[in-house]
Amino acid sequence: MTDLQIQILTSLVKVIAVPLTLFTLVPVMVWVERRGSAVIQDRRGPNRAPVFGFTLFGFPHLAADAIKFFTKESFTPANASRLLYTLAPTMVLIPSIVAFAVIPFADDILLSTSASPLVGSLGADGALQLGGGLVIPMAVARLDGGLLFAFAVGSLGVLGIIVAGWSSGSKYPLISAVRTASQMVSYELILGLSALGIVVVYQSLEPNAIAQNQGTTFLDIIPKWGILIQPLAFVLFLVAGFAECNRNPFDLPESESELVAGYHTEYSGMKFSMFFMAEYIAMMTMSGLIVTLFIGGWQVPWFSTDALRTILFKILGSAQIAVLATAVCQLFWFALKSAFFLWLFVWVRWTLPRFRYDQLMDLSWKVLLPLGILNLTVTTFILGLLAFA
């Protein structure tokens, strides 16, 4: 195969595998949410859908839910604007998946091809020297302005929510749409502003470059992750991220106690489940972003890509296998870090009550925005001093 063919093939694999993984993880997250909430609240959680007598910790409930969603009537209210009402769930679901495209889940791998075979040997300093090989980025898309792309596409999801609320032809979804619009505008700002701190520090908008820059350590002990360089930005990003995903304590768009179910009140069956999946996939994308920007992305703590490759080369003896095994290690660590933040989403949801609407707005404009500007100012000032010195 030529290099071009290999590139097309690997791109296809990534394009199919990444969304598939995200979709597969949705039921797992639903299970974590249900069982986690139950155990936090001293309950046992759903465990009553036996398959041949085995309840399997409540996993069969997810299959039962899926069957229910597929077979349920997809009802359209008489007042609804039919075209937009049908389109809205897609408009929410697609951006949440697409935004994941730029998030790197491992460092670039090198593939040995006939045109440029990958050769590796141990150098004089004991480090692995790699030559040749085709560079394959381990993200669906490698964009120079990848972070901008993630934020731009991520904020498109709001449009779907507003369209859903508007086209339902019902009071509560409309109120929810209005709320969503202003909440998203407010928190999108904080999200961008806090990410800007990281961008300024690492001088890049490319997620993989940002992750690569977090590979070193302070004093050989503490991994030099973004959270240590930009702690305030991390807190701001986390809070804004929760608001962006419409998760508690910022789930005003679907606040059940006031708005029935918010923008998806009038939706049923598969259309509702698309909103549902979009919420969880947005959480995964947000976790991936947080990890990439602040927790070192795919970095294995204390082991840079080169160090890992050297160690694995010594064990396995083949440059190609060492490179691939390194990517697997990094993928595992990326998944582990993301899993922690996904759990944090669940954990916070079952800890905090919902904000009142004016509190939400106050928090955004009177607290987080000034803090974000302060953070950016101080960061640029210090960087300027360092450049001067």
Partner 1 sequence: MNLTVRIYFFEILKGLRITIRHLFRNLLNWDEMPTIEYPDEQRKIPLRTRGLHRLLQRPDGEPRCVACMMCATACPANCITIEAKESDNSQVEKMPEKFDIDLLRCVFCGYCEEACPCDAIRMDTGVYSITGYRRKDMVIGIDKLLAGKGMPGSWPDDLLPKTLPGLKSSL
Q: Which residues bind partner 1 (CB under 8 A)?
A: 36, 39-44, 47, 235, 347-348, 350-352
The least distance separating partner 1 from the CB of residue 350, rounded to whole angstroms, comes to: 6
CB of 357 to partner 1, least distance (A): 17
| φ, ψ at 247 (rounded to 5°) | -100, 155
Q: Which is nearer to partner 1, 47 or 217 (CB)?
A: 47
| Least separation in angstroms between CB 112 and partner 1 | 46
Nearest to 60 by CA among 40, 41, 42, 35: 35
Tokens of 375: 């953070």
Burial label, 113 (beta-carbon count in 10 A; 0-12, 13-18, 19+): middle
> Least distance from C-beta 363 to partner 1, angstroms?
9
Neighbours of 137 (CB within 10 A): 20
- What are the φ/ψ torsions at residue 48 (nearest 5 degrees)? -125, 35
Block residue for tokens 């009537």: 73
Q: Where are the beta strands (DSSP E) in 180-242?
A: 217-218, 222-223
- Shortest approach of partner 1 to residue 351 CB, angstroms? 5
Place of tokens 């731009």: 152
Whether the Cβ atoms of residue 234 and residue 226 lie closer than 8 Å to each other:
yes
Kindly tell me which of 46 and 165 has the beta carbon lying closer to partner 1. Answer: 46
| Residue with smaller CB distance to partner 1, 41 or 257 | 41
As given in the structure block, the two tokens for residue 189 are 């700002």
Cα 74 to Cα 68, 267, 271, 373, distances in angstroms: 11, 8, 7, 46
Q: Supply 290's token pair.
A: 């947080």
For partner 1, the closer of residues 105 and 234 by Cβ is 234
Measured between its terminal Cα atoms, the distance across the chain in Å is 52
Smaller CB separation from partner 1, 200 or 348: 348
Q: Are 341 and 121 in contact (CB under 8 A)?
A: no
- Angle at the Cα of 182 (from 147 to 246), degrees rounded to 5? 65
- The structure tokens listed for 27 are 């039921």
Joined together, the tokens standing for residue 31 give 């299970």
The residue among 82 and 366 lying less far from partner 1, judged by its C-beta, is: 366
- How far is the C-alpha of 24 from the C-alpha of 21, rounded, in Å? 5
| Nearest-approach distance from CB 60 to partner 1, in angstroms | 16
Minimum Å distance from CB 290 to partner 1? 16
**CB of residue 348 vs partner 1: minimum separation in angstroms?**
7
Nearer to partner 1, 332 or 343 (CB): 343
Shortest distance in whole angstroms from residue 68 CB to partner 1: 22
Across-strand partners of 303?
300
- Evaluate whether 288 touches 100 at the Cβ level (below 8 Å): yes
- Residue among 121 and 359 whose Cβ is closer to partner 1: 359
Nearer to partner 1, 30 or 40 (CB): 40
- β-bridge partners, 210: none
CA-CA distance, 374 to 159, in Å (whole number)? 30
Nearer to partner 1, 44 or 356 (CB): 44
* Minimum CB–partner distance for residue 39 and partner 1 (Å): 5
